Chains A and B, each alone.
Chain A
Amino acid sequence: MLKHTSKGLYCEQGDFYIDPVLPVDKAVVTHAHSDHARSGHQYYLAHKHSLPILRSRLGENIRAEGLEYGEMRNINGIKVSLHPSGHVIGAAQVRLEFKGEVWVVSGDYKLEDDGFVPVFEPVKCHHFITEATFGLPIYNWQPQAQVFSQIYSWWQGNAAQNRTSIISAYSLGKSQRLIFGLSKLRGNQAAEIYVHESIARMNVAIRSQGFELLEDNIPSLTIPSSQAKQSKYSQGLVLAPANADPTWLSLFGDYALAECSGWMQTRNFRKRASLDAGFVLSDHADWKDLNFAITATGAENIYTTHGFTSPLARWLKEEKGLNAVELGGKS
């Protein structure tokens, strides 16, 4: 039902692509991160919560239609529906059914409930195309409550030294998860949390979908004024996008920089990123959750994509007896 092509996953019967990498006519988009939602398609179909974000990223004039989770569309005989993947706001797995055969494209997913987006829902299918970003057994996450308390005590430690804490994080997903999780540890207050303007824009788009970020107004920082150096933000936690300009960061004077991602699990990646601290907090499934999710679909045919596709496919084939291959590879 789905073919791996140079433009992306293609459904011939329905004449549409899923997360295409090159411009196409019809694109079903699993979520609004830029490596999945690209510009230049004629028509977009995505979860309704992804639409404002897609518009803010790709332009207000894109032609896009939004679906609810579980709502079904018939595209030339193919029944298409979206189901929660738990990755970020609006993220969905795509379920396709044609003549009794069911395929599911996972997009990116995580299983742990972040208290913010709908939890991953296993969907029974015959063919499951799974992401494999962290498809090695060294990726073994701790519960998020422990990670948040590590981040919080790092922040408090910096504040005691009058150093601003800066975390570089994706503007969509990780930033809101951090605001939500850290506000809770401050008694449901976002006091002293600041965001870079690009994250503030994302928060506006997200709030327009009815999501609460606990505080209506987390200050947005364009350029920290000269006051920054006068320790205005010395007690603060600043969320900045990963590509924030070093000059912008240096305006905070004395600061400590951290990253929160699954890549922070290993020493070599932590060191390469030249950070003061690295916290393991991911919006992707770890090894055991990948295995759990794959098993839960009941699928016999597994295709791995993105990340450690080869070891995950070999593991599923040799150890779990599944018909597993790398997407686009030979069986």
Chain B
Amino acid sequence: MKAFAELCKALDLASTSAEKILALEGFFATASTADTRWAQYLLAGSKIQPRINPAQLKYWAILEAQIPNWLFADCQDLINDLVEVCSLIVSQTVESKNHSLDYWLKFLENLDENDKQAGIISAWREQDPLERLVFNQLATGTLKLRLPPDISLNGHTHPQQTSFLELPPTAKFTPTAMETGWEYTPEKISTILALLVYGQRGVGKQRHSYILTFAVWEGAQLVPITKVEMQTSDERFSELHKWMKENTLEKFGPVRSLRPDLVFELQITGVKPSARHKAGIAVREPRILRQLDNMLPTEADNIAKLKSLC
């Protein structure tokens, strides 16, 4: 699964569609038929039914790593991702056989109900850290890989998002493995109204993008909640850039603070509490839907609404 894990890492880091496509081409060039189909399914944003829950994952990782709970909590404070902490604190003890993605998904599928712990821990011991992260994300149903809509899977047909069973079977592909509970789990998508408060031009590799910071009300104050990247090639960019230049309050380096006049509708796929963010929450996968020119700044959402989405 190393190749698939590398793909996940590359997609995670890629800032442009071109880079994502490059990584995808690299993966599909050498992937087996079975792995290709699994990857297509997962890349369509589809999920598989969790086999274990995060609390189990944490408990077993703590046992395997032999560390106290408070030390796990310190790690989690730093990287804010329970599944990743679990993946990093345990060590590989035997050489990786580099089993396929297909192998590990079937492994999860066939996990002994009465002794999931032994199965999961034995898997960890032969995985490298990147493989282990993807494995744990698959096991807990937390892998997120959805591609932007402008990327199609390199000549491969777009898979259906409803069920595995609609994918054409192949010799290596065994749909029966899915019948016992691997199902598509839809994400909860909501929209919020937020004010644009900072703009930052990217430098170096990021020079073709602009980072926009959005805020919502907390009483009479604005509290930043998220950043969204906009490509300078975006058709909405030039007008927005002109507005930003005219409405800059202060400039520090590449960052401009902006008059909080523009309301945007953002799409998000979730909100969760976060001690690391000033607002006390972290929003997931924010996307700009549209600018709402007829709205007053005071009509933007307040933090209480976002917290209610947690």
Contacts and interface: CB of A to CB of B under 8 A. Distances in A.
Contact of A267 (B12, B15, B91): B12
Interface stretch (B81-89, B152-160, B217-225): B81-89
Interface in A181-224: none
A311 B74 contact: yes
Interface string A270-302: 110011111010000000100000000000000
Contacts of B12: 267, 270-271
A276 B88 contact: no
A311 B73 CA distance: 10
Interface stretch (B33-41, B199-207, B232-240): B199-207
B104 to A, nearest CB: 19
B78 A146 contact: no
Contacts of A5: none
Contact of A266 (B22, B71, B88, B202): B88
B11 to A, nearest CB: 11
Contacts of B13: 270-271, 275-278
A102 interface: no
B14 A276 contact: yes
Given A142-B128, A246-B204, A249-B204, A137 B68 contact: no
Nearest to A139: B88
A268 B85 CA distance: 12
B203 A246 contact: yes
A103 to B, nearest CB: 27
A161 B21 CA distance: 13
A265 B26 contact: no
Chain B: interface secondary structure? helix
Contacts of B203: 246
B31 interface: no
Contact of B88 (A138, A257, A311, A318): A138
B252 interface: no
The number of chain A residues touching the other chain, given as a range, is 20 to 34
Interface string B132-162: 0000000000000000000000000000000
Contacts of A308: 74
B73 to A, nearest CB: 10
B89 A137 contact: yes
B172 to A, nearest CB: 26
A35 interface: no
Contact of A315 (B26, B71, B81): B71
Contact of A140 (B14, B68, B70, B88): B88
A76 B207 CA distance: 58
A257 B22 CA distance: 15
B288 interface: no
A42 interface: no
B178 interface: no
Contacts of B85: 138
B231 to A, nearest CB: 14
A137 B22 contact: no
A31 B91 CA distance: 31
B129 interface: yes
Interface of A: 136-140, 142, 146, 157, 161, 246, 249-250, 257, 265-268, 270-271, 274-278, 280, 288, 308, 311, 314-315, 318-319
Given A138-B84, A138-B88, A266-B79, 16 more contacts: A137-B67, A137-B88, A138-B78, A138-B89, A140-B89, A140-B91, A246-B203, A246-B204, A257-B205, A266-B78, A267-B84, A268-B80, A277-B13, A311-B74, A315-B67, A319-B68
Interface of B: 9-10, 12-15, 19, 22, 26, 65, 67-68, 70-71, 74-75, 78-81, 84-85, 88-89, 91-92, 128-129, 202-207
